[in-house]
Chains A and B, each alone.
Chain A
């Protein structure tokens, strides 16, 4: 492993946050499709084939497994077998967790239940039968992500794919929105759209960061505060964009409140699912440990030990209750709880200490003196704000002014040769160009007014001086946007008349 690879593996932004947001981006657009699939009237499922948490779990687990096994120096066949084996196990576990069916966690009866549902699938379609196949697809997507370097191009491709997939889904939903099964679907998908953009843009930004960093000297020359500052800015800006987008979109929607409520409930659901995924295995392990302890104790006391039968822990409340099985001595439960707490704290401290040591080591190694200094002052900030508003005001004024000007028509002198005075300086210049063109001195496309004036000046020496003066006045008005006062307009008119006389040869 090179120094750069080691440094990259230590970088938590690229090592943890970037893959996590890519997985979330994928999960958002895939889940939107699953929601649509769940609403299909033919299937009458009334639920997506897999929950959002399961989608995230499968993508994440697949990604981690792929990265882990590819990092081993194993034979390729062995790696393949390990990833596929883990995939099958994860798909079964995920399906089992998503579709409890009232069976205990380790109850073998669940398989019979699943087999029955599969047998009757064509007469009574059940999402449980489809879920493993979708799980396998998700595992495959996770493998693809795990194998890629998550470079900017990879993430951009994934983002573009998800973007197109979401547009296609929304168009399909839009075309079938009249059917009752899709009622309210569009507002449901809104959250996934917002989530996709939030995570997608974050993933793009982080991939961009990674690419820029890697282009440099393997981390050398990169400011120590680079990743941290970048991440804050990314979250702030993308969060702002997403909120503004949601805000504007919901103004046009009657489902404003439901959308917000849906978002909140989704967040709650995710939290609960997360707790479930974390606490159920922990509860199971604790129950197993307790069982082993009681079994060992029974060897001494010769007491009867009940067989190990974990209950269904899909309901978090039940699961948490199950962690403290009934009939256990209170002291033992307390001891186990304290031990678990100490273990968790020790793990956290271990990881934190490791991170701090690594950070210190990196700091000592790079050790380029860096000084940060704030230039902020309220006076500057107020000046900048005033400048910004001034620019905006000028922009809108100009727009308004331009809007007030009627569409340019062919000037009268162009067709009739009659010039109705007074003319503005720009009109006079336009007329002069027309007059010069008639005298075979047309301005060429590539010529600037100055260059044109010099060329005409050489061709018609007596007009050189007034033409240069007139061009200067025109440039001020046209490009300098300096308003011409009456004196300047009068001077320009005098010069224009003189030039017309020279060019047409009239007295």
Chain B
């Protein structure tokens, strides 16, 4: 506010006081110089050795859970800060149970304001309970810190770049009813037709029969028994499941998204994956959109890894509304990579004839396919012989206790 003229004003007054032999004028110039000088010095050093940190009590939470955000402001110097204002960017999707946020000029962002007075060598921590009522991957920060002199003549600000991330998994509800073919996942996993064998798991040995591959001969036993012995492998019983999620929620060629419908689709996908993994199936996830900051699509191959559910939920948490490819194209490209006997489960709110055609081709090629249609959008595919399960979307997905997969296989 005073700019750089203050020194000139103080100097002029000092000169005048000397010329006029005026002690009060000298006092006036001194007080002016001291006040503005103190303000200037204060402003220069106010943000030195000021630390700002934020910490979340958890970085991965389930939908509806609460976490605690702790902001920590430390002043590690002898100069007290009469005021320090921290504007911290927060996601608009989380609910602050205490404290209030203001609007931000950025979309889906709010600003958490903290105005404090921090004395010398002092630290202040403020804790905000937060409820996570939206699925997503949220960034907390960056923050802008502002402080200045006592009198409001000068102020200074700095930005702190570090950002904390919070992943809120989608909601998981129990599947109320399942009706997908018994040979395939989501039903009975026991199969009598041991088509595949696992070469790692040796069940035993038997005498060689004509037609046995030489690769299967157990040479040590052959040498011991002086007869050709063939290894018998354990049949594999793991049948993979590929969950394909279609993020399109409006009818082509229109663009846009119905947020609630997409959330329902994601919730159904998470619930299906959770159920299948609990039942012991290796489950994979494929989404017709790219990963964040990547040109690669969301693709998690089927696995029984104990962390597989976490991987799937994390991927689902990060989904946004934009479709990168049509789901039909995605299914056609990814399904051949799945093991034989795998089931392709497509969850879509807007199934298209192209998707029906792709699923039909897979079915003809011997794959098991199923479509979970969320809502009433898209075209009906039952006439093609593809099992379709309908999940009504007329109720608010937040209030659902379970998902009913209705319809005939």
Chain A positions within 8 Å of B, measured between CB atoms, are 152, 156, 163, 166-167, 170-171, 173-175, 177, 186-187, 189-190, 193-194, 197, 201, 204-205, 207-209, 211-213, 216-217, 220-223, 225-226, 229-230, 233-234, 237-238, 241-242, 244-246, 248-250, 252-253, 255, 366-377, 380-381, 384-385
Contacts and interface: CB of A to CB of B under 8 A. Distances in A.
Interface string B103-118: 0000000001111110
Given A212-B115, A241-B38, A255 B23 contact: yes
Given A171-B16, A249-B27, A233 B121 contact: no
Interface string B38-58: 100000000000000000000
Given A212-B115, A230-B83, A376-B121, A368 B128 contact: yes
A134 B27 CA distance: 28
Which of B75, B78, B80, B82 neighbours the largest number of chain A CB atoms within 10 Å of its CB?
A: B82
B83 A221 contact: no
- The SS class assigned to the A binding surface is helix
A220 B100 contact: yes
Contacts of B23: 186-187, 190, 249-250, 252-253, 255
Given A205-B152, A230-B117, A241-B34, A368 B127 contact: yes
Contact of B76 (A175, A186, A368, A375): A375
B77 interface: yes
Given A167-B28, A380-B121, A229 B34 contact: no
Contacts of A249: 23-24, 26-27, 30
Contact of B25 (A170, A194, A230): A170
Contacts of A189: 24
Contact of B98 (A186, A216, A368, A385): A368
A230 B82 contact: yes
A175 B22 CA distance: 10
12 contacts: A171-B20, A177-B22, A205-B150, A209-B82, A229-B82, A230-B82, A245-B31, A250-B23, A372-B123, A373-B124, A375-B75, A381-B78
B115 A221 contact: yes
Contacts of B38: 237, 241
A211 B83 CA distance: 12
Contacts of B75: 375
Given A170-B25, A384-B78, A373 B31 contact: no
A221 B117 contact: no
B336 interface: no
Contacts of A209: 82-83
Nearest to A371: B125
A238 B83 CA distance: 16
A233 B82 contact: yes
A34 B123 CA distance: 49
A87 B30 CA distance: 38
Given A220-B100, A221-B115, A241-B31, 7 more contacts: A177-B21, A208-B152, A216-B102, A217-B113, A226-B83, A249-B26, A371-B127
Interface in B277-297: none
A170 B24 contact: yes
A479 to B, nearest CB: 20
A67 B173 CA distance: 60
Given A226-B117, A373-B125, A187 B25 contact: no
B85 interface: yes
Which of B16, B75, B116, B117 neighbours the largest number of chain A CB atoms within 10 Å of its CB?
A: B117
A208 B28 contact: no
B122 to A, nearest CB: 6
B119 to A, nearest CB: 6
Nearest to B115: A222
A2 B82 CA distance: 27
B259 to A, nearest CB: 27
A217 B112 CA distance: 10
Interface in B51-82: 74-78, 80, 82
Which of B25, B85, B98, B151 neighbours the largest number of chain A CB atoms within 10 Å of its CB?
A: B151
B122 A375 contact: yes
A223 B82 contact: no
B22 A376 contact: no
B83 A367 contact: no
Contacts of B124: 223, 370-373
Interface in B133-153: 150-152
Which of B24, B35, B76, B80 neighbours the largest number of chain A CB atoms within 10 Å of its CB?
A: B24
Contacts of A369: 98, 126-127
Contacts of A244: 34
A370 B101 CA distance: 17
Contacts of A207: 152
Contact of B35 (A197, A208, A212, A221): A197
A189 B24 CA distance: 7
Contacts of B13: 167
A242 B31 contact: yes
Given A186-B23, A197-B31, A242-B31, A156 B123 contact: no
B34 A245 contact: yes
B120 interface: yes
B99 interface: yes
A174 B152 contact: no
Given A197-B35, A229-B82, A252 B112 contact: no
B1 interface: yes
Contacts of B16: 171, 174
Contacts of B115: 212-213, 216, 221-223, 226
Nearest to A255: B23
A374 B119 CA distance: 9
Contacts of B30: 245, 248-249
B94 to A, nearest CB: 16
Contact of B126 (A201, A246, A370): A370
Contacts of A366: 98
B77 A384 contact: yes
B127 to A, nearest CB: 4
B241 to A, nearest CB: 45
Contacts of A177: 20-22
A185 B1 CA distance: 33
B81 to A, nearest CB: 9
Contacts of A170: 20, 22, 24-25, 28
Nearest to B78: A384
Nearest to B116: A223
A216 B80 CA distance: 22
B102 to A, nearest CB: 6
Contacts of B116: 222-223, 225-226
Contacts of A217: 100-102, 113
B20 to A, nearest CB: 4
A109 to B, nearest CB: 41
Given A221-B112, A377-B121, A204 B152 contact: yes
A163 B12 CA distance: 14
Contacts of A225: 116-117
A190 B102 CA distance: 47
B52 to A, nearest CB: 14
Across chains A and B, which 3 residue pairs bring their CB atoms closest together, nearest first? Answer: A208-B152, A174-B20, A229-B117
Contacts of B1: 156
A193 B27 contact: yes
A376 B125 contact: no
Nearest to A221: B113
A491 B35 CA distance: 51
B99 A220 contact: yes
A238 B80 CA distance: 14
Contacts of A190: 23-24, 27
Nearest to B152: A208
Contacts of B122: 372-376
Contacts of A248: 30
B391 to A, nearest CB: 41
A194 B27 contact: yes
Nearest to B26: A249
Contacts of B28: 163, 166-167, 170, 193, 197
A208 B146 CA distance: 14
